[in-house]
Structure 1
Amino acid sequence: MERFFNTAGPNQPALHYTLPPLERVDWAELSWLIDAQRYFVLHAPRQTGKTGLLLHLAQQLNEAGRYRALYVNIEAAQAARNDVGAAMGTVLGAFASAADVYWNDAALCAWTRDVATTGERGDALRRVLEHWARLSPVPLVLFVDEVDALVGDALVSLLRQIRAGYAQRPTAFPHSMVLCGVRDVRDYRIHRSDGEVITGGSAFNIKSESIRLGDFTQAQMAALLAQHTVTTGQTFDDGVLEELWEDTRGQPWLVNALAFEACFRLPALRDRSCPVTLEHLRQARERLILRCDTHLDQLADKLREPRVRSVIEPIIASESGSVDLPDDDIQYCRDLGLLAPGRPLSIANRIYREIIPRQLTWSTQETMAQETAWYVRANGRLDMVALLTAFQQFFREHSESWLDRYAYKEAGPQLLLQAFLQRVVNGGGRIAREYGLGMGRTDLFLQWPLTPQGFVGPLQRVVLELKVLHSTRQYTLEQGMAQITRYGDQCGADEAHLLLFDRNPHIPWEQKLYRSEHHHAGRAVMAWGM
């Protein structure tokens, strides 16, 4: 069977294009930690290759013969919630199954299952690990995956049982343990059934290191695409790798999903003599976003969490001043993979930047009574004056009731306009979005095909800049003129529209709503008051 880009479950090199797992981590550091009998954490956002790496590490250690290594996934214990007995029973069942599957040790599997079904389970995991370590002819190394699937009392019990046996290593407890999940254990805030909140660091203070599995580098992405070219003969045009990098910033699932969508789902590219072009990649991106696969759907679900909203909302609103955000919430969003490294805070990649506003306004967009045909002229161009005039009236009539529905109220005007535009442009155009903390504006770049050739033919290019008044109208207008002129030149735009939102409830609509034409540095700009 022809290999392909994997988007579901651990990679299998016989089936999937696969990067060598050890190229994505510092193997010298990992091997030293294991040799030094350390218990440590490996964490990364979902679908970044954690499980595949752990399976590879366990296999490599077993083949070397110095250690007896085992991979165990305990995610099934999540369903037990705060029921420690039920959770530990499931955890021990997972350990028993792993011993049977990876070691072919039926006797140890049966003994462990017997412990799981009899007696007091509150200390059962510690007793099982002690027994396993005593029986093992060489030091025992365990890779425990999905640790943070456990919650509350069950997670506290797991961590404390491991901590209780730690001093007995390596002869009567595992020589080394790696706990794996989305978050670093020190960042866990564990809510017990009695109302007490415990941090992971206090429940598991034996952890020596925390290692984050990184995203792909641009070179690693190139190596992955090269495997497809070697296997199929299909090439990638110049600029495709750079575009893929901007879209994904190396997020492994996004890289694989976008490449799979382009190379295996676009009908034109099933002919392997046809190279993958920039336009093919952009088509694949739009299809991926519209389909909202599980990975992107999970991302959308996280946006509802208050801790995520507190960080993402000021980014969408492009707030320009200093924003006081809880460090824990920022770290939580980083662990989820929502934020790019460094400062100022920004969304991790272009696809997430596109998906987030769409997901936050999906129901709004779907229920708006707007049709693309209303705003298309006889020559095929979008009538932006008619479109934005309609939005002005829509905003006047409905903004209060619509914005009340949003959890992200501070970014409400920006989200509502994007929903309105997306509703209209979904009939055949594209919108690119630029926003971020400290920008003080949201930039939109609208592309509209003018012929049946689509995006490979002539395009209408329009830039829109959204600003919320925090100073005088005149100052904001002058500032916006300079900004949108630069943005329009950068995009090669035919039209430029500057939208100024006045959120002062005491200003009457008659004063808020206006339209005026301006020129700045040789560019015509239409200003719109909202």
Structure 2
Amino acid sequence: MRFFNTAGPVNPADHYCLDPLSRFDLEEIFSLIRQKKYFVLHAPRQTGKTSCMLALMQYLNDTGEYLSLYTNIESAQAAREDVTGGIRSVMSSIGIYARDFLGNQFVLDHDNEILQERGAYNALEEVLSRWSSHEQLPIVLIIDEVDALIGDTLISLLRQLRSGYSRRPANFPSSIILCGVRDVRDYRIYSDQEKSIITGGSAFNIKAESLRLGNFSKIEVKSLCLQHTEETGQKFEPEALEKIWENSQGQPWLVNALGYEVCFKMETGKNRSVSISPGMIEEAKTRLILRHETHLDQLADKLREERVRRIVEPMIEGTSVDSTINDDDLSYVMDLGLVTRGPDGLQIANSIYREVIPRQLTTITSYNLEATIPRAPFIRPDGRLDTRYLFTEFQQFYRENSGSWLEIAQYREAGPQLLLMAFLQRVVNGGGRIEREYGLGRGRLDLLIIWSVQSGETQRIVIECKVLHHSYEKTIRDGLSQTYRYADTCSATESHLVIFDRTPEKPWDEKIFNTEEVYSGTEDHPVMFLVTVWGM
């Protein structure tokens, strides 16, 4: 039986999968190869690059026109600034992959000799030159995990490939494809030898194109899931397929992880007579997040990087990116797959990432809240969430703890919003879920609590968060309009507007308040909409 794959390249005999060669424009790539171009293919981790490159290698070899080799050089990362060790590792990887995939021993038979003869700064160029001269067919070399290398090792690799470029195809690979998370132009490499920053674009200025492997389309997500239905008879409800798309936006690992979790790990889903429902997909999503899957932890680990913080923090706040932020930071965060361009501008790539990010940024706080804040008092005897008590308690908690917490928070500007989300998560966990909407320039953070009541009723509680930048009157006026629009979209049963006043030295008694406000709509669309406003 096949299954959804969440680790390593796909194997059609074992895994549900799309045709890897359909994931990119094969004609465009083949055209670049025919033109003897050197180019880049990049994509976020666990998007399917390796599967696609292995399939491309096989495709090229099957044409009989090329000798193509895929190789992964990530092992050279351990050499760091040791150029000799790094280049030795790169050549060894090329030799091992050539032996295993092609039955070709040339590189393994000559790499050590050439390294001793030419030295680390010329050995890779020389071994590729001799190998190309030895083979009758032009070589297409696919090098994966290039951006795993650092410093002078990476600089030496790029420069040796550039140096041999003019001798292709008779005495150097006809075409080279560099694969990694980032485009080579975004490499900012510190050379210990030169005591300066070298850009990837200058070290590898022979790049012809930069191609990006995208996510699955909505149709492809459905196609992948229906392979399970065809093989087992187990159906996905249409709304469940929509929920997979909504949660993943086609990110390949997330699609496969949700499918594997719901069909092969959850007891209910193991019963093939049970159709996969939207609720089961939501449960699978929660299990993945709480289990701290490696993919999600690796992604969250990037949040500690300063260049990522500069982009993500204003997204949580809903403000704009500082004008001093350069395009490189934005390109880097987009290449990681954290951020994407949506119809309303930059936004977090999918709903799972939107939930993982604030959880990761408040991990220790969440543990402390579990130990100090009991859930029971926030739940009424009828099973409903007592939101008035919840916000009253958070006001006091925020008053007592925000100062010390914000002093140590890495994302200090977004600290109030993160602290609120951590508090809400502590209360809501186990009885409901929180959906989050945030992005650049939105001017607020949108939260929706979906809480299941014992009677079968569902509370849908909208929370709009704003930071006081102007007068209270303007902030409330804008906030009421935004809260109404979000609540109308979410079919909310109650709505709250939280205003954080970060004015230094202002007494807490002036910041903390609670009032009921009515939004009356516009002349064209009058309404009577009640919003509870909480000042902090």
Q: Which residue of 1 aligns with 2:161?
A: 162
TM-score relative to the length of structure 1:
0.97
- Runs of 4+ in structure 1 deviating by more than 4 angstroms, as ranges, are 116-119, 320-324
Aligned counterparts of 1:321 and 1:47: Cα–Cα separation in 2? 28
Q: Which residue of 1 aligns with 2:514?
A: 515
Does residue 37 in structure 1 map to residue 36 in structure 2?
Answer: yes
Could you tell me which amino acid in structure 1 is paired with residue 60 of structure 2? L
Q: Which residue of 2 aligns with 1:71?
A: 70
Aligned counterparts of 2:485 and 2:40: Cα–Cα separation in 1? 46
Does residue 289 in structure 1 map to residue 280 in structure 2?
Answer: no
Could you tell me which amino acid in structure 1 is paired with residue 9 of structure 2? P
Q: Which residue of 2 aligns with 1:483?
A: 482
Identical columns (%): 51
Aligned counterparts of 1:258 and 1:365: Cα–Cα separation in 2? 25
**1:486-528 deviation line (CA, Å, top 9, x unaligned):** 2222222222111111100132111111111223333322111
Structure 2 residue matching 1:346: 3-state secondary structure: strand
Deviates more, 1:426-435 or 1:85-94: 426-435
Q: Which residue of 2 aligns with 1:54?
A: 53
Check 1:74–1:353 CA distance in 2 against 1; reply closer, same or farther (3 A cut): same
Aligned length: 525
Could you tell me which amino acid in structure 2 is paired with residue 523 of structure 1? F
Deviates more, 1:177-186 or 1:323-332: 323-332
Is the CA contact (8 Å cut-off) linking 2:106 and 2:131 kept in structure 1?
no
Deviates more, 1:327-336 or 1:238-247: 238-247
Q: Which residue of 1 aligns with 2:406?
A: 403
Does residue 387 in structure 1 map to residue 390 in structure 2?
Answer: yes
The CA deviation at 1:108 is 4.5
Gaps of 5+ in 2: 520-526
Task: List aligned pairs for 1:466-505, cutoff 5 A.
Answer: 466-505=465-504
Deviates more, 1:334-343 or 1:372-381: 334-343
Does residue 428 in structure 1 map to residue 427 in structure 2?
Answer: no
**1:258-294 deviation line (CA, Å, top 9, x unaligned):** 1111111111011111111010011111111111211
Is the CA contact (8 Å cut-off) linking 1:248 and 1:350 kept in structure 2?
yes
Check 1:252–1:131 CA distance in 2 against 1; reply closer, same or farther (3 A cut): same
Aligned counterparts of 1:181 and 1:21: Cα–Cα separation in 2? 17
Gaps of 5+ in 1: none
The CA deviation at 1:439 is 1.1
Structure 2 residue matching 1:340: 3-state secondary structure: strand
Could you tell me which amino acid in structure 1 is paired with residue 504 of structure 2? P
Q: Which residue of 2 aligns with 1:362?
A: 363
Check 1:321–1:52 CA distance in 2 against 1; reply closer, same or farther (3 A cut): closer
Aligned counterparts of 2:328 and 2:107: Cα–Cα separation in 1? 41
Is the CA contact (8 Å cut-off) linking 2:66 and 2:140 kept in structure 1?
yes
Q: Which residue of 2 aligns with 1:524?
A: 530
Deviates more, 1:364-373 or 1:309-318: 364-373
Q: Which residue of 1 aligns with 2:522?
A: none
**1:298-322 deviation line (CA, Å, top 9, x unaligned):** 1111000000000001001111697
Task: List aligned pairs for 1:190-205, cutoff 5 A.
Answer: 190-194=189-193, 195-205=195-205
Structure 2 residue matching 1:325: 3-state secondary structure: coil
TM-score relative to the length of structure 2:
0.95
Aligned counterparts of 2:531 and 2:419: Cα–Cα separation in 1? 22
Aligned counterparts of 1:490 and 1:171: Cα–Cα separation in 2? 63
Aligned counterparts of 2:40 and 2:225: Cα–Cα separation in 1? 31
Aligned counterparts of 1:178 and 1:255: Cα–Cα separation in 2? 27
Check 1:394–1:198 CA distance in 2 against 1; reply closer, same or farther (3 A cut): same
The CA deviation at 1:220 is 0.9
Aligned counterparts of 1:243 and 1:137: Cα–Cα separation in 2? 52
Aligned counterparts of 1:481 and 1:206: Cα–Cα separation in 2? 55
Q: Which residue of 2 aligns with 1:231?
A: 231
Structure 1 residue matching 2:10: 3-state secondary structure: coil
Aligned counterparts of 1:266 and 1:430: Cα–Cα separation in 2? 19
